Amino acid sequence: MTLADGETGKRSPRQLRDARRIRRAGEAARLGPRPAMAVALAQIGAAFDEAAAINDFKLRVEDLLARGPRDGAVRARFSARAALLHGRSLDAAIILVECWWRDERKAFQVASALGCGTRLSLDVLRELRLILRLARFKRMEADYHAAVAALCDAPSAMAAE
């Protein structure tokens, strides 16, 4: 599996598991009084709980991986950070991105307290952290270097703009 494997047209196993989890919550609620309302509330609760939010994040990252490093949206989202990671090993990149994420989280907390925080850079770093950890877990050091090189490719970056 490379960092660009997968098809965006098919439902992933993660999407299927999420749909089954919501359906199971509805089936469990059928036993009480007013089953239609209980089923609806149970399914809504399951679709918007913490597990659903985590699953949605993982689905977004899965979609970014399926698009690959040559996609314009992926390039726009990660090329600046990839340029800073160019030439580093996967382990060094993970450590550096973790430091960036911690610093950005502190800055976001301060900015939010002042009423002007934006989550975009925090979300990008959160996605990048998961992608790098997944690459390390699957022992994809070569794919990591290829993806960083593809994101830092200047002629392609000019063509994507």
Least Cα distance to 128 among 144, 108, 115, 109 occurs for 144
Q: What is the pTM of this model?
A: 0.73
The answer on 150 and 90 residing in a single domain is yes
Q: Provide the pLDDT for residue 161.
A: 42
Q: What's the domain count of the chain?
A: 2
DSSP state of 85: H
Q: What value, to the nearest 5°, has the Cα angle with vertex 131 and ends 99 and 73?
A: 105
Residues 155 and 120 in one domain: yes
Residue 2 lies in a domain: no
- Tell me the residue range of the domain where 106 lies: 70-161
Torsion sign over Cα 141, 151, 105, 89: positive
**pLDDT for 12:** 80
* Closest residue by Cα to residue 93 from 109, 108, 78: 78
pLDDT of residue 5 exceeding 70, the answer is no
∠ at Cα 92 (108, 121), nearest 5°? 20
Q: Please check whether residue 119 lies inside any domain of the structure.
A: yes
* 108 in any annotated domain: yes
Residues 57 and 105 in one domain: no
The pLDDT of 92-98, averaged and rounded, is 96
Check residue 155 and give its pLDDT: 53
Percent of all residues in the chain with a pLDDT value above 90, rounded to a whole number: 55
